[in-house]
């Protein structure tokens, strides 16, 4: 069974940093592209970015709203995905989901809540 | 960027009746590599994470009831629930994975009338 478990969310001040993690199991993580998607309170889904697999050099793509501030990485030895969030803004307040790609987003975690507030 | 526009924003349907949600993309998402539409539909129930319902515009995922169906091609797509059940109350999103940045529709909130 595929499982994705996010962690690392919390309250952070504007301008601060936070690192989210996503622990994966039940599939061959190293061969899989992985995504982050976020959802502001009461709002819709927003794609944050994607990391390809090692065969594709772990290259990344980002939404314009986070490019230059967020970094997606992975550690295949730990079956883990990460989202390093820097220069956080109040508009980054959201539930952050990791998702497994099978062209589409086949599996989603339960999410971790990030609140950016002073 | 490809803009995904869903209609309506909200919908109230009686139990047992048909519910139809539309999704329009600002450009074609029919990919020549596999002659498939790179569109998926997700269901998000209150307090839960999104769940994949339909891939490739019309392929129902394993375990999804057959009252859910997807159709359309190119730029116009539809999610249909043939006979609404109480457990179908949710927000439904379309999603294009044809190009980066990937984008979602704004969501359609489905309620019981």
Q: Do A97 and B40 touch (CB under 8 A)?
A: no
Residues B8-29: b if buried by 16+ CB within 10 A, e if exposed: eeebebeeeeebebbbbbeeeb
- A96 interaction partners in chain B (CB closer than 8 Å): none
Does the beta-carbon distance from B97 to A61 stay under 8 Å?
Answer: no
Question: Can you give the pLDDT at residue A74?
Answer: 98
| B44-93: pLDDT as tens digits | 999 999 999 999 999 999 999 999 999 999 999 999 999 999 999 999 99
- Give the pLDDT confidence score for residue B105 in this predicted structure: 98
The pLDDT value recorded for residue B68 is 98
Cβ within 8 Å, pair A47-B102: yes
CA dist., res. A67 & res. A85, Å (int): 10
Q: Determine contact: A64 vs chain B, CB below 8 A.
A: yes
User: In this predicted model, what pLDDT tens digit does every residue of B7-34 receive, in sequence order?
Assistant: 999 999 999 999 999 999 999 999 999 9
Interface test with A, best of B2, B55, B96, B97 (most A CBs within 10 A): B97
First to last CA, chain A: 40
Which of B6, B38, B95, B101 should one mutate to test binding to chain A, selecting the residue with the greatest count of A CBs within 10 A? Answer: B101
Distances (CA, A) of A1 to A35, A105, B59, B101: 19, 16, 21, 29
Query: Is the distance from CB of A8 to CB of A17 less than 8 angstroms?
Result: no
Cβ distance B97 to A46 less than 8 Å, yes or no, reads no
Q: Which residues of chain A have pLDDT under 70?
A: none
C-alpha B59/C-alpha A44 separation (Å) is 23
Give pLDDT tens digits for B88-107.
Answer: 999 999 999 999 999 999 99
Residue B71 confidence (pLDDT): 98
pLDDT, position A24: 98
| Residue B101, preceding peptide bond in cis (omega within 30° of 0) | yes
B109 strand-pairing partners: B10, B91
Q: What is the pLDDT of residue B81?
A: 98
Q: Which of A44, A50, A111 sits opposite B106 (nearest CB)?
A: A44
């Amino acid at each position: 069974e595929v499982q994705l478990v996010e962690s690392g969310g919390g309250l952070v001040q504007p301008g601060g940093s936070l690192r989210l993690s996503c622990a994966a199991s039940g599939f061959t993580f190293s061969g899989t592209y992985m995504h982050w998607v976020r959802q502001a309170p009461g709002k819709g889904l927003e794609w944050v970015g994607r990391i390809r697999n090692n065969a594709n050099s772990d290259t990344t793509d980002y939404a314009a709203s986070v490019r230059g501030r967020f970094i997606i990485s992975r550690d295949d030895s730990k079956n883990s995905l990460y989202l390093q969030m820097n220069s956080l803004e109040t508009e980054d307040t959201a539930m952050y989901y990791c998702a497994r790609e099978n062209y589409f987003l086949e599996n989603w975690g339960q999410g971790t809540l990030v609140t950016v507030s002073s | 960027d490809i803009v995904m526009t869903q209609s309506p924003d909200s919908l109230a349907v009686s139990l047992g009746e048909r519910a139809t949600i539309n999704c329009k993309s600002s450009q074609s998402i029919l990919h020549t590599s596999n002659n498939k539409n790179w569109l998926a539909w997700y269901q998000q129930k209150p307090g839960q994470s999104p769940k994949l319902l339909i891939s490739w515009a019309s392929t129902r995922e394993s375990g999804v009831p057959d009252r859910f169906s997807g159709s359309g091609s190119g730029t116009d797509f539809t999610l249909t629930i043939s006979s609404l059940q109480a457990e179908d109350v949710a927000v439904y999103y379309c999603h294009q994975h044809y190009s980066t940045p990937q984008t979602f529709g704004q969501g359609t909130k489905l309620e019981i009338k």
